[in-house]
Structure 1
Amino acid sequence: MKKRIYLFAAAVLVSILTAFGQTKEYQLSSHILDINQGQPAPGVRITLSKQDKDAQWTVVDEKLTDKDGRVKDFLERDGNDHAGIYKLTYHVAPYFEAQKQSTFYPFIEVVFEIRDNNHYHVPITLSPYGYSTYRGS
């Protein structure tokens, strides 16, 4: 009986350690704050593209903002060097359409450069007729 208890406890401990050991880290995140509503913008599609040596854009990933208006998991830290010029395209027209709100911007493109292995956070504050962006933390 004691042997079964020890084996069960060991199996539980191994599964817990394995689960925590597999936490992935990401180099890039974004956030959209709808300043017209005073709240995050959930369900907005964001496309991440990278510029190649010929100045052509290649889509790297595409995600939807979560209930907090965030995408936390662009560019997994997997040992690859992610240096380069990137573009985040925020597809905001459907977001405003769902609110029965017209907008001047069908989409917003923010171009930036990753130069090192640090974390990059690119948020935007959004309204139907304006936006602002900055490098966050």
Structure 2
Amino acid sequence: MSGYLTTHVLDTARGRPAAGLEVELFRLADGERRLLKATKTNADGRTDEPLLEGERFARGTYELVFHLGGHFGEAGFLDEVPVRFTVERPEEHYHVPLLVSPYSYTTYRGS
């Protein structure tokens, strides 16, 4: 069984998924930050497919960058939210949800 990486963004200020949000995935290794994928969230606040899966999903340090800049318009305070995490067991499902409002965010390892 191979693992995979997913995300889900919820707009807690409006009580709905954050649709159309740009998300970038980077791998950090040997002092370099390499872009692996750039995508957008769908109407459900999720990406249409896993961000990374199979053999490409390996142990290591990754960073998701959520581009909130235009999502909240002038009411927004946050521009980009980086979430850096380590994958120790790439055979598992790693889910990184983000709960956002114009002035704060929360993340955790989901299921």
Which has a greater percent of helix?
Answer: 1
Separation in 1 of the partners of 2:15 and 2:56? 38
3-state SS, counterpart of residue 66 of structure 1: coil
Structure 2: gaps (5+ residues)? none
Aligned to 2:23: 46
Per-residue CA deviation, residues 64-116 of structure 1 (Å, 9 max, x unaligned), is 00100012411121x3451110000000112122xxx4211111000000111
Runs of 4+ residues deviating >6 angstroms: none
Matched, 1:115 2:92: no
Alpha-carbon offset, residue 130 of structure 1: 0.4
Count, aligned residues: 108
Aligned to 1:56: 32
Aligned to 2:6: 29
Does the CA contact (< 8 Å) of 2:7 and 2:46 recur in 1?
yes
Aligned to 2:51: 74
Higher RCO, 1 or 2 (CA under 8 Å, sep at least 6)? 2
Separation in 1 of the partners of 2:56 and 2:67? 28
| TM-score, normalised relative to structure 2 | 0.90
Structure 1: gaps (5+ residues)? 1-24
The one-letter code of the counterpart of 2:69 is A
Change (3 A) 1:96 1:27: same
Does the CA contact (< 8 Å) of 1:26 and 1:74 recur in 2?
no
- Cα RMSD between the aligned structures? 1.5
Does the CA contact (< 8 Å) of 2:13 and 2:102 recur in 1?
yes
Could you tell me the percent identity over the aligned residues? 34
The one-letter code of the counterpart of 2:14 is Q
